Structure 1
Amino acid sequence: MEIGKKIKQYRLKLDLTQEELAQRTELTKGYISQLENDLCSPSIATLEDILHILGVSLQEFFSEPANEQIVFTSDDYFVSKNGGGTNTWLIPNSQVKEMEPIILTLPQGAQCEERLPFEGEEFGYVLQGKVELVTLREKCKLKQGDSFSIDGKKQHTIRNINKGESKVLWVTTPSNF
C-alpha cells in the first residue's frame, strides 16, 4: 500500500498545502513531502495525528474501496408482510448496516406487528394518511408530514387511523426489522 500517496490524495481533497498539514500536525513540511513520496514511513501515532487532521479514521484509511451500490431504484426493493400491512425494503441487505429504512404501508384499519424492545432507536415520517403511534403509556396521532423519534426500548406499534391507505417512512438503527 502506498501510504504517502493516499495521504496526499486526502490532503488535496481538503485543499491543504503540505505546509498547512505540517503546521496542524506539528511536523515539518519536508517530512510531509518525504512521507507523500513514500521515502519514509510514519509511526502509528504520527499517522493517527495526520489522519485526524484529514478527517479520516485508520479503519477507513486502510480499507479497500468497495464497489458498493449507493443508489437504489424500485427494481432493488422487496416487499414483506408486517402484521396487517407491508414493508417495502428500500435498501437490499440493509440488515447488515447500521440503518434500516423501509416504507410501511397500512390499509385502512390495519396495524403493524408490535415492535418489541431493543437497543437502538427509530424514526418515522408519515408520507401519506394518518396513523397512531401506540406505546404502553400513550397514543400519539400523526398526519402526513409529521414525524416521530422513539427509543427502541419502548414497546410500540403503528396503526392506520385514516380512511384509506397510510404510508410511513420508517428508519431503525441499528437495523432490527
Structure 2
Amino acid sequence: MGDTSTQPATGVRLKQLRQSKELSIRELARRCGVSHVSISLIERGRHSPSVSSLKAVLEALDTTMSAFFSDPLPDASPVVFRADELVELANGVSLSYRQVGRNLGGSAMMILHERYAPGADTGEPPYQHAAEEGGVVVAGRLELTVDGEVSILEAGDAYYFDSRRPHRMRNPFDELCVVVSAVTPPTF
C-alpha cells in the first residue's frame, strides 16, 4: 500500500463522481477492469491506486485526471503559477505529477512538472490516452517504454510520441528523476 496522505481526498472525489453517474462500485469495476474491492478501498482512503488504474477508473467515468483533481477556474485566469499552486495529480511522494493551472476544461494543452523517486513506476499495464505528449528530463534518468520498446533517457534528453501508443514511465535508478512535460489535448 502506498502513501495515504492524498487518499481521502481522492477517495471522496471518486465516490462523489461515481454516485453522480449513478453507478454501483461493481458496475464501475466491470466498465474499467479494476476490481470492485480496489475501488471500494480507494473510496474509503485505504488504498492508493497506480496511475494506470486510476486513469482506467476515470476513463470509465468519462473524465480525465486533470479534470478529476482540479477545481473550477476563477473568472480571470492567472498567467503565473507559483510552485505551491501547482495541482498534484499523483501521490506526491514516490510519483508526482504537478499540473500547471487548475481545471483545464476547454484548454488545448496540459503542462506537468513530474518527479519520479527511485523505484517510482506509472504501473502495469502501460496506459494510453488520445493525445500527444512530449517532455524533457531535467534531472536524473527515466526509463520510458513505448509500444514495448524501452529507452533510458538522461538529463537533457527528450521524448515525443502519440499517447495512444501504450506507454509506461519508471525510475529504476538510485537518484530522483525530474521531467517537464506537455500533453495536448489535456486527456491525461
TM-score range relative to shorter protein: 0.5 to 0.7
Q: Say whether the 8 Å CA contact 1:95–1:176 is kept in structure 2.
A: no
> TM-score, normalised on structure 2?
0.53
Q: 1:138 to 1:82 in 2, by over 3 A?
A: farther
Distance in 2 separating the partners of 1:115 and 1:171:
18
Using structure 1 for the length normalisation, give the TM-score: 0.56
- From the CA coordinates, give the structure whose radius of gyration is larger: 1
Maintained 8 Å contact 1:106/1:112: no
2:115 is aligned with 1:105: yes
User: Does the residue aligned with 1:81 lie in a helix, a strand or coil?
Assistant: coil
The answer to whether residue 170 in structure 2 is matched with residue 170 in structure 1 is: no
Aligned residue number for residue 141 of structure 2: 130
Deviations 1:116-141 (A, max 9, x none): 32322001110110001112330011
Measure, in 2, the Cα distance between the counterparts of 1:163 and 1:78.
26
Structure 2: which amino acid aligns with 1:134?
T
Q: How many residues align?
A: 112
Alignment gaps of 5+ in structure 1: 1-65
Secondary structure of the corresponding residue to residue 75 of structure 1: helix
Looking at structure 2, the residues matched to 167 and 87 of structure 1 have their Cα atoms a distance apart, in angstroms, of: 10
Q: Which amino acid aligns with 2:184?
A: T
Task: Report what 2:77 is aligned to.
Answer: 68
1:133 counterpart letter in structure 2: L
Q: Moved runs in structure 1, 4+ residues, more than 3 A? A: none
**1:1-177 correspondence to structure 2 within 5 Å:** 67-81=76-90, 84-113=94-123, 116-177=127-188
C-alpha contact (below 8 Å) 2:119/2:170 kept by paired residues: yes
Q: 1:132 to 1:165 in 2, by over 3 A?
A: same
In the TM superposition, residue 77 of structure 1 has moved relative to its aligned partner by 1.1
What are the Cα deviations for residues 31-85 of structure 1, in whole angstroms up to 9, with x where unaligned? xxxxxxxxxxxxxxxxxxxxxxxxxxxxxxxxxxx74322211232122326951
Partner Cα separation in structure 2 for residue 95 and residue 163 of structure 1: 37
Rounded Cα–Cα distance in structure 2 between residues aligned with 1:74 and 1:111: 23
In structure 2, give the amino acid aligned to 1:68: S
Show structure 2 runs of 5+ residues with no match.
1-74
Q: 1:121 to 1:159 in 2, by over 3 A?
A: same
Kindly provide the amino acid, as one letter, of the partner of residue 86 in structure 2.
Answer: Y
Distance 1:95 1:146, change over 3 A: farther
Contact 2:130–2:187 at 8 Å: present in 1 too? no
| Aligned-residue offset at 1:104 | 1.5
Q: 1:95 to 1:171 in 2, by over 3 A?
A: farther
